Structures are given as structure tokens and as C-alpha cells.
Chains A and B, each alone.
Chain A
Amino acid sequence: MSTKNTEGVCKETVYNRVFMAHSKNLFNFLYYKYGSLYSPEDKVQEAFVKLWENCSKVPEEKAKSYLFTIANNLTLNAYAHQKVVLKFQKTKPQNYTNESPEFVLEEQEYNARLQKAIAKLSEAQRSAFLLNRIEGKKHKEIAEMLGISKKAVEKRIYGALAKLKKEITELK
């Protein structure tokens, strides 16, 4: 897959490859950063339409950062700094079963509180933190993805965690 392609992504096969490689990541990133209000699916679509229109100018290895920049800008254009709406799917099943109903209830409440707190994070903190936590991405990867330094990523993630801890323990 690492074949160098500097001729742009106009070929259907290349374009499809780029889509399959990056669309989900792009979607998740937009979701983590801006929530569901700005329909990340549509922003992904728009970004890929733009990529298609400029397919001859964007080589395959540049496509990822191109898409992230375009999708981010598209969302920012619509973004009015409203409250982020995050609605994660049902959490993954816990490893431990046969818990007491109280425990399960407490778990659910904690979950809700955490999600609320995550929604309150800044976009920068949230996207970096969730990419690290949910996607399991290394700090270095996130830095490359967002085009910032590893140090900045670490600051964002640490800041996010500190803020979340504060929110949650305060409410306790």
C-alpha cells in the first residue's frame, strides 16, 4: 500500500483506497472535536468531494492532511461555538459481569457525568484526548495528524485529563 503515488488521486482505485484508509479516522476526529451537531458524515463527504475536484493536485501521501485540513475548515465555517453534542454509543461491555444493580447504576451515572465533562472540554483538548483514549493513538501520531508538536499534544491531553478529574470529583 505504500507505493509512491505522486500523480494525484484521480484514479478511481487510488481514490477509493484513500477513502477507505482515511474516511473513518476523519469522521472520528471530527466527531471528537465538534460532536454530532455539524454532521461529521457530511463534512467527510464534502472534504472528499473537494479532494476529487482537486484530485490531480493532491498526491496520495498528501491526501490525509489535505482531507483533515479541509474537513476541519468546513466544520469551523459552520461552527458557532455552540455546546458540543456528543452521544457515544452504548459503551463497550464491561469485563466484569454479575455486578450488583447499585454498581451498574453507579457505573451508568459515572458514564453520563464523564460524557458531559468531555463535552465541556475545549475542541483541541477533547480531540487530542479522545484520539489517545478511544483510538489508542500515540501522542506522536496525534501530533502528526493535527500538524502540531508532540509536546502540544501532551499538554492538551494532560489538560483534558486534569479538567475531567476536576469536573467529576467536584460533582461527587
Chain B
Amino acid sequence: MEREELITKWLDNELSEAELQEFKRLGDYEDLVRIAETTKQLVPPAYKATQEYERLQTSIDTKTKSGIIYLKPFLKVAAILILFAGIYYATTLSQQTVEITTTIAQKEVVTLPDNSIVTINAMSDLYYDPATWDEFRAVTLDGEAYFQVAKGATFSVETSNGVISVLGTQFNVRNRDDKFEVYCYEGSVQVETATKTVILKPGDRFRESVKIASTNTSTALSQPSWIVNETSFEKTPLGEVLKEFERHYNVTVSLDKEVENLLFTGTFTHLNMEIALKSISLPFNLSHKKQGNKVTLSRD
């Protein structure tokens, strides 16, 4: 075997017994072994992996920290953006309107910033903006609410059908879909709709652009009946009455077309559906059937 091949094999520990004998016969065998064996005993400087790993981690940490320096221009931009966001929030979002919403059969009493008291009937929304309250006492109403307004500057209620302005009084606003009704209990109330402006005196009722002056003072109530868990109607179409009924009891009422426009004058309670149904149906000699959440009123 070639000398080089022999030595290479020896260095790789691949010599067979016969080859080893051949290798030992090489003239410089002893020199080679000594070099190889002495080298074997050399020890490289100690490497402390655990310590080095800790060192590595700190240098990685500082690297990532120094990386922030490159972000500095972005940080400036970010700071400005945050500032603007803050100003935007302070001027816009913090003035977010307060919204009070009621569901079926729910009534809510709200005290406004000027201590005016609003009682909100079922299925209604009331909004106001506390930030501009000191300048404009204004609320937006969708539904029905009874206002007891504290004395002061003009207080206005905005609805989809018109604006009611007062100085300090008590009145009820019913704004259901296109049905609009304002009842004045105390003081005077100005109602402004797209077509006209009217002034209501205590006992007066404004209904769908028609001012109905109180017939006699005895009918002038001190507060709306729904406050005491009843709803009163005066010459109101039965369809409308039953819609109000649905707001207080979680039911759907179906009604024959022919009786929809009969005018109802009377009251129903919010506390007992059976009695309420009777007080609506008996005056018209209607019979009612109840199945689950459905109530049917019909003429026998």
C-alpha cells in the first residue's frame, strides 16, 4: 500500500491489523506517532458554554435596545400621532352623547345635568351631549318621555317630527314613528314642526300638527298616566293604542283592518296584561285570544 494512503488511514483509525504491521515498518514510524500522539494531548483554551451563552444574551438584549435608536424618527411621528389622537379624543369623543335606551315594558328615570328629570317610557331612546349642555339644554328623543324641566335657559327636545322648546315646565312628548303628540302639564310649551309653530298651555295637547285646546280644566292632568303604570288615550285610533300596548307587554297583537281606526278613549294598565286587554277590547265588544306571544283581537 502507498505510504500516503497508509498514513492517512492510520490517522483516521481505519487500519486493519495487517496494514498496521505494514505501517509500523515505515522508517519514520516513530516520529509520526510521536507527532500525532503529542498533538492529541493538546487542549484548546477552555470554552465555557453556559457563561458565553449568558454573555450572548446580554449582547442580544443591548442590540435590540440599540435598535430602538433607528426607530427614533418613527417615534417622533408616533408621538405626534398620539398627540393628535389625544386632542381628537378630548374634543370629539369625550363629548360623546349620553344615550339612554329602554326596551319593552321598561321605564327609566334620568336626571339631566341641570337636575331636570326625564322619565322615559318603554321602547324609547334619549340622547344628549353633556359637553354642550351648559350652552344648549337640548335632548333628542325617539319615543315617549315625560319631562320635568328645571327653571333656566331654553330647554329643547328634538324629535323627528318637530322641536319642543320650553323655559321650565312639565310636559310629555310621544314621538312614535310618524305619530307625534305633546301634552303640556304645567307652564307653556312651544312646539315647532315643519309646517307650524304652536304654543301649548297646561292641559293642551298637540297631536300630529293639530292643536287640541283643553276642553275643560278638569281633564288637565298633573302628569302623564304612564308614569303611574297606565297609558291613557283620548280619541286615539285602536291600531295606535295596540302599538303602545305592544311596547309594554312583550306580545304581537293582530287586529282586523275594519276595527283599526276605531277611536279609543280610555286607559290600560302596564301591570296586568289580561286586565289591560279587557280594558281595550270590551268597549268595542271585541274578543281576544292569546297564543304564546300572539294576541288576536277580533269581532265575533
Contacts and interface: CB of A to CB of B under 8 A. Distances in A.
Interface of A: 16, 19-20, 23-24, 27-28, 31-32, 36, 41, 44-45, 48-49, 52-53, 87-92, 94, 110-111, 114-115, 118, 129-130, 132-134, 136, 138-139, 154, 157-158, 161, 164-165, 168-169
Please give me the 3 A-B residue pairs with the lowest Cβ-Cβ distance, nearest first.
Answer: A133-B39, A88-B42, A92-B41
B31 to A, nearest CB: 6
B44 A110 contact: no
B56 A161 contact: no
B45 A115 contact: no
Interface string B129-140: 000000000000
Q: Chain B interface mostly helix, strand, loop or mixed?
A: helix
A161 B32 CA distance: 7
Given A41-B52, A161-B11, A169 B31 contact: yes
A115 B42 contact: yes
Given A28-B47, A92-B41, A16 B36 contact: no
Given A49-B60, A158-B4, A89 B49 contact: no
Given A114-B35, A157-B11, A89 B44 contact: yes
Contacts of A92: 41, 43
A3 B221 CA distance: 85
Contacts of B44: 27-28, 31-32, 88-89, 134
Contact of A118 (B8, B11, B39, B53): B39
Most A Cβ at <10 Å: residue of B4, B34, B46, B52: B52
Interface residues of B, number: 30
A31 B42 CA distance: 12
B36 to A, nearest CB: 6
B55 interface: yes
Interface string B1-29: 00010011001110000000000000010
A19 B45 contact: no
Given A165-B28, A165-B31, 16 more contacts: A20-B53, A45-B52, A49-B63, A52-B60, A88-B45, A89-B44, A90-B43, A91-B43, A92-B41, A115-B42, A130-B39, A133-B36, A138-B12, A138-B13, A158-B7, A164-B39
A117 to B, nearest CB: 8
27 contacts: A19-B52, A20-B53, A23-B49, A23-B53, A24-B49, A45-B52, A45-B55, A45-B56, A49-B63, A88-B45, A89-B45, A91-B42, A110-B38, A130-B39, A130-B42, A132-B12, A133-B40, A134-B44, A136-B40, A138-B12, A157-B8, A157-B11, A158-B8, A164-B35, A164-B39, A165-B31, A168-B35
